[in-house]
Amino acid sequence: MALTETTIEELETRHRKETKDLTSKVMSLKKSIPKGDKRKKKEVTAEIAVLEAELAERHTAELSELRQTLANGTPTPDDLATTLAETAITTDSAPSPIGGMYGTTATSAADRP
């Protein structure tokens, strides 16, 4: 059960961070409204409502999905496929400063004595 508690705690921690980030974005949006511009205020208020609703809906869905997955005991292939699809794999195409497999660096003929 430690894995279950840790996973739920990690998800809740991420949700708190995302909520905090949204709050700061809302404040910056509100501060961007010029005084007396009612049209801009309406637009920003509508945008804020959409952002908050999307975040709340996503958090609810993620939490219920996690609880359902944990209740089932093992993730389904669809859950694994979704997780893999969401996971970004990055590769470093730049050559290593250390060099090749044996720790040597390639030198050109001009660099050799």
Note the pLDDT tens digit of each residue in 86-95: 665 544 445 4
Residue recorded with tokens 């090749």: 100
Q: Which of 15, 4, 11 is nearest to 75 (CA)?
A: 4
Cα(112)–Cα(50) distance, integer angstroms:
64
Q: What is the mean pLDDT of the chain?
A: 77
Cα(47)–Cα(52) distance, integer angstroms:
9
pTM of the entire predicted model: 0.58
Which residue type sits at 95? P
Q: How confident is the model at residue 1 (pLDDT cuts 50, 70, 90)?
A: very low
Cα(47)–Cα(23) distance, integer angstroms:
13
Cα(18)–Cα(23) distance, integer angstroms:
9
**pLDDT tens per residue, range 13-29:** 999 999 999 999 999 99
Report in angstroms the alpha-carbon separations of 85 from 44, 81, 82, 89, 103: 33, 6, 5, 10, 35
Structure tokens at 91: 């590769």
Side-chain half-sphere CA neighbours of 7 within 13 A: 14
> Residue 68's pLDDT is what?
86
